Structure 1
Amino acid sequence: MTASIGIVGASGYGGVELLRLLAGHPSAEVVVVAAHSQAGQPVSTLFPNLPGDRVFDAVDLDRLSSLDLVLLSTPHGASLELGAALHDAGTRTVDLSGAFRLDAEAFATWYGEAHPRPDLAPAVYGLPERNRAAVAGATLVANPGCYVTTVLLGLLPLAPLLVPGSVVVDGKSGTSGAGRAAKDALHATHVANSLTAYGAPGHRHTGEIEAQLAAAGSDLGPVSFTPHLLPIARGLLTTSYAGLREDVAADDVQQALREAYADEPFVHVLEPGRFPVVKAVVGSNACQLSAVVDPRTGRVTVVAVTDNLGKGAAGQAVQNANLLLGFEETTGLSAIGMYP
């Protein structure tokens, strides 16, 4: 079976990564490559890695609704409208924005606006390692945020071992995480040879991290999260710190991580003291992570890396699409990054 796929927002970095990945997918045909502002323009003009004479399509809801699956790589405002319409039409959809990740109350808190479809808030949360059965039976899937994916893969297996209120997360991402739009702060002259924090303390991914930890049954409470901008194109690293409950040993931490990911194709747990490297996962759908315990402070440090456009966005969206369409979950995806 070959599935018909539509991509909306195909002129952005997430959209072009979807195009790249699906070009090598044996069971998917990208029928629609929609980009509102670029409609009619050759794809190769923006993205020379995708040669050929294909042009960007206009956004046509009727045409999209007729497809087997639609991937939305649009800002949350556009996704709110399109995602709801496609859901109502019964078209399987994976949304890469934050439009459907939070319940209506949390969405209003973190996005500063009312959710127009509280009945769809939240949609099925697309972190396959924790939620693959629900994803497989869904119509609308909310693809997790890039920082959130990386943090959750490290923290969720350890949540029962951690002290509530003690979680602090430091995140660092490449500039592609900020999108393709021209922004002064992303000018090469400003970014090169530099490092800066942004978005604290109210970055939207904070609410998403807290919501998913709570949804997993943890009582960890508020999380402190500060993102930073790295002078690289793609790649993401998070370092999470938390206090350990009494009588929790370093072996308990390692056992929890290894049991959680023993059969997972894209999550690799490294030995304690061996820290993940961003470049090792760039271009892949992999996450590498490791944890070390400091007996002096009674705290654990969890370091995790992903490609923010791979497992943090388009790669995970394809992973979710495979589940929705009944394909092998790893189809069209690699767990091996480009190194060096």
Structure 2
Amino acid sequence: MGLTVAVTGASGYAGGELLRLLAGHPELDVTTVTAASSAGTPLAAAHPHLAGARGLGDLVLRPTDPAELAGHDVVFLAMPHGQSAAVARELEGSGALVVDLGADHRLTDPGTWESYYGGAHAGTWPYGLPELPGQRQLLRGARRIAAPGCYPTSVALGLAPVLAAGLVAAQDVVVVAASGTSGAGRSAKVALLGSEVMGAVSAYKAGGAHQHTPEMEQTLTTAAGSPVTLSFTPLLAPMPRGILATCTAALRPEVTTAQLREALQAAYADEPFVTLLPEGVWPTTAATAGSNSAHVQAAADTHAGRAVVTVAIDNLGKGAAGQALQCANIALGLPEECGLSVVGAAP
């Protein structure tokens, strides 16, 4: 019997992906799964692919309340933004490791939280992106972890090293990123119907309206050592999962492709989940699907005077469930790669 685990929001896409990964984890045993409207139904009804999974096929979704979560060694909160803070407060003093996949504990500025999400700020937890300088040390032994958002993960992995190296200007950063439909959650929405999505790529929440904008600016500002201003345009792509983020920033004079790649190589040479692709080979979401990997590439566009860094991740993997499990492994003193794969599923 390993450490006991509870997963809230288990009927959603991120919750389902987390359970898929936990089913193959040798040290963590899922004993409780909770949900809101689907409480009382079998887990396999929400996630048929888990019907034969070790210890999961017979579980029933329970209501998300303190009594159901009490006594677990690890609790993953895979809930919509704004809902996890109240549950986390009920777990204070429990001694459990709590990993929040939502946004409730990511931001440091209360005013920014209120502006983008509304309601009172719940406080800030250690930020769960281990590849950023110093973050892995903060996560070791932590009892509370805020897992980053999917877009912010891809953008931080692409731009943090080149900003830290002073190769690009912090005041002129532009990101255009395409996400699969699972990034919008599992609630029924007309815009996510198959007939609306198939054969179409559409922009949404452009012009600084997307809630991940302040999280990206917060992370990149720390990396750059000076305020970063970012223009972000998210795109909805006709695929179930994956993110492809194309990040550009004004080049410092005389900066070359080789220098951009050297900064990325120095940052990720020893990172198991981040791969700098050979020069000229550009990332594709197909290569990272089903994995906890990030594929990165960079080039200096000397014609336009801009650095171009492109990152591909699985939004449900490195962008959510995989990253949460990676952080939990670190906090618990387990091998970081336990239960996770660097290999995508193809075709």
Give the TM bin, normalised by the shorter chain: over 0.9
Tell me the equivalent position of 1:30. 30
Unpaired runs of at least 5, structure 2: 52-56
* Structure 1 residue aligned with 2:302: 295
Superposed CA offset, 1:300-329 (max 9, x none): 111100000000000001101111111000
Query: Letter of the aligned partner of 1:80 in structure 2?
Result: A
Letter of the aligned partner of 2:276 in structure 1? V
What's 2:285 paired with?
Answer: 278
Contact 1:279 1:337 in 2 (8 A): yes
CA offsets 1:183-241 (integer angstroms, 9 cap, x no match): 00001000000010001121011110001112234325210001000010111100001
Superposed, which structure 2 residues align to 1:134-283 within 5 Å?
Answer: 134-159=138-163, 160-201=166-207, 202-283=209-290
Distance in 2 separating the partners of 1:14 and 1:60? 19
AA at the equivalent of 2:325: V
Supply the distance in 2 between the matched residues of 1:300 and 1:89 (Cα, whole angstroms): 47
Tell me the amino acid that sits aligned with residue 126 of structure 1.
G
Partner in structure 2 of residue 43 of structure 1: 43
For residues 75 and 120 of structure 2, what CA distance do their matches in structure 1 show? Answer: 25
Question: Could you say what the CA RMSD is over the residues aligned between the two structures, in angstroms?
Answer: 1.3
CA distance in 2, matches of 1:246, 1:15: 46
Instruction: Give me the identity figure in percent.
Output: 46
Q: Which has a greater percent of helix? A: 1
In the alignment, the residues of structure 2 paired with residue 303 and residue 21 of structure 1 have an alpha-carbon distance, to the nearest angstrom, of 26
Cα distance per residue 1:253-303 (max 9 Å; x no partner): 111000100000000001222100110000000000100111222211111
Q: Is the 8 A contact 2:141 2:332 kept in 1?
A: no
Question: Shift of the alpha carbon at 1:139?
Answer: 1.7
Alignment equivalent of 1:68, drawn from 73, 85, 101: 73
2:315 to 308, 312, 315: 308
Partner residue, 1:123: 125
Residue among 77, 88, 92 paired with 1:83 = 88
Number of residue pairs matched by the alignment: 336
TM-score, structure 2 as length reference = 0.94
Matched residues in 2 for 1:41 and 1:179: separation?
19
2:14 matched residue in structure 1: 14
How far did 1:7 drift?
Answer: 0.1
CA distance in 1, matches of 2:255, 2:118: 40
Task: For 2:241 and 2:257, locate their aligned partners in 1 and report how far apart those are by CA, in whole Å.
Answer: 32
Name the CA distance, whole Å, in 2 between partners of 1:87 and 1:198: 37
Q: Deviations over 1:150-183 (max 9, x none)?
A: 1100000000211121100001000000011100
Match of 1:59 in 2: 64
For 2:159 and 2:304, locate their aligned partners in 1 and report how far apart those are by CA, in whole Å: 18
**How high is the TM-score relative to the length of structure 1?**
0.96
Greater Cα shift, 83-92 or 65-74: 83-92
Q: Check conservation: 1:163, 1:220, Cα contact below 8 A.
A: no
Q: CA deviation at 1:248?
A: 2.3
Q: Which amino acid aligns with 1:293?
A: A
Distance 1:222 1:87, change over 3 A: farther
- Aligned residue type for 1:132: R
Distance in structure 1 (CA, Å) of the matches to 2:223 and 2:143: 21
1:324 aligns with 2:331: yes
Give the letter for the 2:101 counterpart: L
